[in-house]
Amino acid sequence: MAGTIIDGKAFAAQLREKVGTLAAAFEEKAGRKAGLAVVLVGEDPASQVYVGSKGKATIAANMASFEHRLPDSTSEGELLSLVERLNADPAVDGILVQLPLPDHIDEQAVIAAIDPDKDVDGFHVTNAGRLAVGQSGFVPCTPLGCMMLLTDRLGDLSGLDAVVIGRSNIVGKPMAQLLLDANATVTIAHSRTKDLADVVRRADIVVAAVGRAEMVRADWIKPGATVIDVGINRLAPEPGASKGRLVGDVAFGEAREVAGAITPVPGGVGPMTIAVLLRNTLVAAHRNAGIDLPEGAI
């Protein structure tokens, strides 16, 4: 029997709805909206579309959206001074600088300039450190969204074998830490892992975040496992088509036949990333305004 499809899009819509309700209540109490600033440098069309959709989602969730679209020629100094202004702006609770940045700008320097308490991406070393030692801070949106899908499906993860494929600072490493905090037994696998298929076959939970189209095959999956596919890869267009299909890091059709549950691409993890960004912004707003948001409210 084919595994259940985990509907990340629907889950994300529910989360955005909850955030929207709490954001309206925040506005009542604080006398202002929670605010998210999104900074885009350069004219990459995919990033343009993506930043636009974040702005719409922010407004739909009763928050204020501040978009800053800067030309490719923007210097690192100019970007850093914008970040400083946003850090100092009381209307801005969350700051997201869209990555990747143009080559002439040092990404780490820009991330380091963001006030950690406005770093709703959770990319600042202060937030990475907080996560590593179990202090509260901002957790990167994609792995936190994956955890929400996992706990919704599985409840308690204690003692489960989890394999994370990929070791990026943005997904793999924080994902592993969250799974560890949830008492899973965690393996981080990557491009140099020996016998990767054998390692993945032991997993009750597979999180694929390598960025290689359809790399994880059906015969890598333990029957009944829960598979979370973080990859978003565009295939080459079919003859006559202008755009290729979007696929994940997992060969979805065949893996679904073995898995207990699996996220699709699109419609799985991707929509969760934006919903969690709004959630993190709501949390930031409450902290910045000194208004209580009950633990577990969202």
Ligand X SMILES: Nc1nc(=O)c2c([nH]1)NC[C@@H]1CN(c3ccc(C(=O)N[C@@H](CCC(=O)O)C(=O)O)cc3)C=[N+]21
Distance of alpha carbon 230 from alpha carbon 211, whole angstroms: 8
Q: Which of 96, 146, 147, 182 binds ligand X (CB under 6 A)?
A: 96
Rounded Cα distance between 176 and 223, Å, is 22
State which of positions 236-295 bind ligand X (CB under 6 A). Answer: 246, 265-267, 270-271, 273-274
DSSP, res 216: B
262 is in an annotated binding site: no
141 binds ligand X per the rule CB under 6 A: yes
**Residue closer to ligand X, measured from CB, 24 or 232:** 232
Question: Min. distance of Cβ 274 from ligand X in angstroms?
Answer: 5
User: Pick the catalytic residue: 54, 118, 173, 222?
Assistant: 54
Q: Which one is catalytic: 33, 93, 98, 222?
A: 98
* 3-class SS of residue 121: coil
199 contacts 193 by C-beta, under 8 angstroms: yes
14 is catalytic: no
Nearer to ligand X, 100 or 224 (CB): 100
Name residues contacting ligand X, limited to 111-140 (CB under 6 A).
121
Contacts of 247 (CB under 8 A, 6+ apart): 213, 214, 231, 233, 234, 235, 265
- 75 among the known binding-site residues? no
Determine if residue 212 is labeled as part of a ligand binding site: no
Specify the DSSP element, H or E, that contains 87: helix 76-88
Bridge partners (DSSP) listed for residue 226: 205, 261
The β-bridge relationship of strands 233-234 and 246-247 is antiparallel
Contact between 99 and ligand X per CB under 6 A: yes
Q: Please, which residue, 84 or 292, has the CB nearer to ligand X?
A: 84
Site for ligand X in 171-190 (CB under 6 A): none
Q: Report the DSSP beta bridge partners of residue 235.
A: none
Burial class (CB in 10 A: 0-12, 13-18, 19+), 155: exposed
Q: Which of 192, 191, 188 is nearest to 163 (CA)?
A: 188
121 is an active site residue: yes
Is 166 labelled as part of a ligand binding site? Answer: yes
With CB under 6 A as the rule, give the number of residues binding ligand X: 15
Task: Give me the active site residues, please.
Answer: 54, 98, 121
Residues that bind ligand X (CB under 6 A): 96-99, 121, 141, 232, 246, 265-267, 270-271, 273-274
Q: Which residues are annotated as a binding site for NADP(+)?
A: 166-168, 232
